[in-house]
Amino acid sequence: MKPEKKDVTAHKHHMYDLCQRYHYHLVQCEGTDGQVYDGIIDSVDDEGVYLLIPVGDMEREDQDDMNRQFGYGYPGFGFGYPGRFRRFRRRHFPFFFLRRLLFPFFY
């Protein structure tokens, strides 16, 4: 069964309104492939939404704290200063790819 044109445009309009409402909020987006993406809504246009996706923390999970470059008690930096900071990549998601928005934190 083929989706009707009004259903597709209604979904697009609904997702546009949600993304506009939660601009600069941390959200989780579920795609039509079932994968969930975490990110901050950076901007919204007529075709989709731009999310700031965090990257770069995965390789640090396996490292021991004692092996970091600026480990415990490095002069001038205090206790446990991290070797580098979290980075974000900007990624575009079209509205037809998004199934729903999830909110991981309740205020």
Mean of pLDDT over the chain: 79
Q: What is the pLDDT of residue 56?
A: 75
**pTM, two decimal places:** 0.68
CATH of domain 5-102: 2.30.30
> In the chain, where are the structural domains located?
5-102
Average pLDDT of the residues in 2-20: 86
Confidence of residue 79 (pLDDT cuts 50, 70, 90): low
Provide Rg for the chain, Cα atoms: 19
User: pLDDT tens-digit profile of 13-64?
Assistant: 999 999 999 999 999 999 999 999 999 999 999 999 999 998 876 555 555 5
How many other C-beta atoms are found inside a 10 Å radius of the C-beta of residue 88? 14
Length of the chain: 107
Residue 2 has pLDDT above 70, yes or no: no
Residue 6's pLDDT is what? 74
d(CA 10, CA 15): 9
